[in-house]
C-alpha cells in the first residue's frame, strides 16, 4: 500500500498515508496548491474526521452526516445506500423532509426537493459511467464500486481494497496478490479472476468465488472458531457450497483445509480437540485471516484419508503396548501366585528364581494396571475417531 503519492499535472501536491498493522487506512494528509483540496483526514472504525472535525459515520447500509458549517449541514442527517448484488453502491438517498417518502425527479422538477442525492452506474470492471443520471452529494460519498473507497484526490482515482489498490480504468490491481500461490491459473494482478459480473475480490486477496460460483475463501470474523465459521457458511452461503453434500460444510473440513491456522484445534495424534476445551472455539486464528474453503467433498475425503492413516498407525502402536503390558502383568501375577504357595515357591527358588519380591517389582515398576486401563480408554477414543473417518470416506465416496 502506498505511503506517499506525488500528484501530477496541473494539480500538483502530494498525499501521505498511515496504516494499521492489518493494512487499514487510518490517516491521509493531502498537501496541494488548492486549499480546498488540502487537509488531513482520519479513519477511526466507521467514523471519518477532516481536520479533526467529525464529518460522517459509515454503517452497514448508509452513513450519518454530522452537523458542519464547513459542509453547510445544519443538523445530523441519515443517508442510505442501495447496492447491487456485488456490493456496488448505485443509489444514495435521504428523507430530508421526514415525511416517510423519497422524492425523486419524477415527482418534481425542483432539484432542491430531490431526495435521491447520488446515483452511480459502472462498467463491468468498476469504471464509473458518465451520464445525465449521475449525481453527487456533499460531503462526497466515495464508497462506490464493491463499497470500497475511491481515492480521487489529486487525480489519483484508485480504490482501496485493504491489501492492494485497484485501478478500475484497466481492471487490474497495482500490486501482486499476496496469496497468489493459491491461484496459479490467473495473473497476480487480476481482479476477481476476470469475472467481475459474477464475482467480487476480497480486500484485494482474490475472489471469494470460483468461476463456477462456489465459495473458496472466507474472512474470519471476530470471535469465530471453526464451528461458528461452518454455521455462518451453511446458513448464509449454502447456495455457494453446492459441491458439498446437501450444501453443508463441516467444521472438521475447515480445520483440515487450514491446519496451520488451527494448530490448537488438532491434537498431536491427529484427533480433534474436545469441544469443551477452550482452545477448540478459537484455535489460533485471528480476526481478518483468510481461510481456504474445501473444494467440494473430495477435499474432505482426502483429508479424512490422511487422518485415518495417522489414527490407524497410532492404534497399532497402542495395541502392541497393551499386549506387551498384559503379558508382563500375567507373568507377574504368576510369580506372585507361586510366591504365595510354599511348595511351588521352593521349587521356583530351587530353579534359581527370586520369588515374590520380583513379581511385586514387576507389577509396580515395569507396568501398572491403571496405566493399561488408561491405554485401553485411549484405544476406545481412537476407534471412535477411526469409525467417524470411515463414515466420512464411505458416505461421500
* Residue 120 reports pLDDT greater than 80: yes
* Residue 348 reports pLDDT greater than 50: no
pLDDT in tens, 29-64: 999 988 888 999 999 988 999 999 999 999 878 999
**Mean pLDDT over the full length of the chain:** 75
DSSP 320-351: HHHHHHHHHHHHHHHHHHHHTSHHHHHHHHHT
Which one of 68-77, 340-349, 358-367 scores highest in mean pLDDT? 68-77
Share of the chain above pLDDT 70, in %: 65
Mean pLDDT of 282-311: 62
Q: Any idea which of 62-66, 119-123, 147-151, 365-369 has the lowest mean pLDDT? A: 365-369
Query: What residues pair up with 207 in beta bridges, in sequence order?
Result: 201
Mean pLDDT of 147-153: 90
Neighbours of 343 (CB within 10 A): 8
Nearest to 363 by CA among 319, 338, 320, 327: 327
Q: Any idea which of 19-23, 163-167, 253-257, 304-308 has the lowest mean pLDDT? A: 304-308
Q: Please, what's the b/e burial string for 216-252 (b: 16 or more CB within 10 A of its CB; e: otherwise)?
A: bbbbbeeebbbbebbeebbeebeebbebbeeeebbbb
Neighbours of 17 (CB within 10 A): 16
pLDDT recorded at residue 298: 46
Q: How confident is the model at residue 322 (pLDDT cuts 50, 70, 90)?
A: confident
Q: How confident is the model at residue 234 (pLDDT cuts 50, 70, 90)?
A: confident
Rounded-to-integer distance, Cα 105 and Cα 138, Å: 19
pLDDT recorded at residue 85: 79
Rounded-to-integer distance, Cα 254 and Cα 295, Å: 11
Domains of the chain, residue spans: 4-173, 180-292, 307-396
Q: How confident is the model at residue 268 (pLDDT cuts 50, 70, 90)?
A: low
pLDDT recorded at residue 331: 66
pLDDT in tens, 173-215: 988 887 777 667 788 899 987 888 877 776 665 545 544 455 6
Beta carbons of 91 and 116 less than 8 angstroms apart: yes
Neighbours of 15 (CB within 10 A): 20
pLDDT in tens, 67-107: 887 777 888 999 999 998 788 999 999 998 889 999 998 89
CA distances from 149 to 31, 91, 101, 144, 234 (A): 20, 15, 29, 6, 30
pLDDT in tens, 16-31: 999 887 678 899 999 9
pTM above the 0.85 mark? no
Give the up-direction half-sphere exposure of residue 79: CA atoms within 13 A in the CB hemisphere. Answer: 26
3-state secondary structure of 133: coil
Identify the residue whose cell numbers are 465416496.
397
Q: Any idea which of 52-56, 166-170, 224-228 has the lowest mean pLDDT? A: 224-228
* Residue 146 reports pLDDT greater than 90: no
**What are 152's three cell numbers?**
480521487
* Residue 339 reports pLDDT greater than 70: no
What residues have CB less than 8 Å from 80, skipping those under 6 apart?
Answer: 61, 62, 92, 93, 94
Supply the DSSP symbol for 289. Answer: -
Amino acid at each position: 500500500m502506498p505511503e506517499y503519492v506525488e500528484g501530477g499535472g496541473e494539480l500538483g501536491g502530494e498525499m501521505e498515508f498511515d496504516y494499521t498493522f492489518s493494512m487499514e487506512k487510518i490517516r491521509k494528509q493531502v498537501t496541494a496548491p488548492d486549499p480546498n483540496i488540502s487537509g488531513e483526514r482520519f479513519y477511526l472504525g466507521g467514523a471519518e474526521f477532516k481536520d479533526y472535525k467529525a464529518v460522517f459515520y459509515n454503517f452497514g447500509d448508509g452513513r450519518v452526516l454530522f452537523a458542519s458549517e464547513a459542509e453547510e449541514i445544519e443538523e445530523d442527517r441519515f443517508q442510505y445506500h442501495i447496492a447491487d448484488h456485488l456490493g456496488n453502491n448505485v443509489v444514495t438517498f435521504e428523507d430530508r423532509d421526514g415525511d416517510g417518502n423519497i422524492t425523486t425527479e419524477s415527482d418534481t422538477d425542483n432539484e432542491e426537493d430531490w431526495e435521491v442525492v447520488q446515483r452511480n452506474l459502472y462498467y463491468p470492471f468498476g469504471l464509473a459511467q458518465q451520464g445525465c443520471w449521475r449525481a453527487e452529494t456533499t460531503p462526497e460519498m466515495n464508497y462506490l464500486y464493491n463499497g470500497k473507497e475511491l481515492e480521487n484526490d489529486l487525480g489519483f482515482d484508485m480504490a482501496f481494497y485493504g491489501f492492494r489498490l485497484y485501478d478500475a480504468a484497466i481492471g487490474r490491481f497495482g500490486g501482486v496478490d499476496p496469496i497468489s500461490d493459491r491461484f496459479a491459473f490467473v495473473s497476480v494482478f487480476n481482479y476477481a479472476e476476470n469475472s467481475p459480473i459474477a464475482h467480487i475480490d476480497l480486500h484485494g486477496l482474490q475472489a471469494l468465488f470460483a468461476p463456477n460460483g462456489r465459495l473458496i475463501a472466507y474472512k474470519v470474523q471476530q470471535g469465530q472458531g471453526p464451528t461458528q465459521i461452518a454455521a455462518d457458511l451453511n446458513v448464509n452461503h449454502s447456495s455457494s457450497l453446492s459441491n458439498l453434500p446437501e450444501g453443508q460444510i463441516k467444521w472438521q473440513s475447515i480445520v483440515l483445509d487450514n491446519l496451520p491456522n488451527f494448530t490448537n484445534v488438532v491434537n498431536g495424534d491427529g484427533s480433534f480437540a474436545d469441544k469443551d476445551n477452550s482452545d477448540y472455539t478459537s484455535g489460533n486464528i485471528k480476526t481478518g485471516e483468510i481461510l481456504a474453503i474445501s473444494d467440494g467433498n473430495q477435499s474432505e475425503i482426502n483429508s479424512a484419508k490422511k487422518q485415518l492413516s495417522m489414527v490407524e498407525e497410532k492404534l497399532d502402536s497402542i495395541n502392541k503396548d497393551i499386549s506387551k503390558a498384559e503379558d508382563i502383568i500375567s507373568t507377574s501375577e504368576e510369580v506372585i501366585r507361586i510366591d504365595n504357595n510354599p511348595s511351588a515357591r521352593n521349587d521356583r527358588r530351587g530353579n534359581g528364581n527370586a520369588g515374590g519380591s520380583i513379581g511385586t517389582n514387576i507389577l509396580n515398576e515395569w507396568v501398572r494396571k491403571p496405566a493399561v486401563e488408561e491405554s485401553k480408554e485411549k484405544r476406545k477414543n481412537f476407534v471412535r475417531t477411526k469409525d467417524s473417518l470411515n463414515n466420512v470416506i464411505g458416505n461421500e465416496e
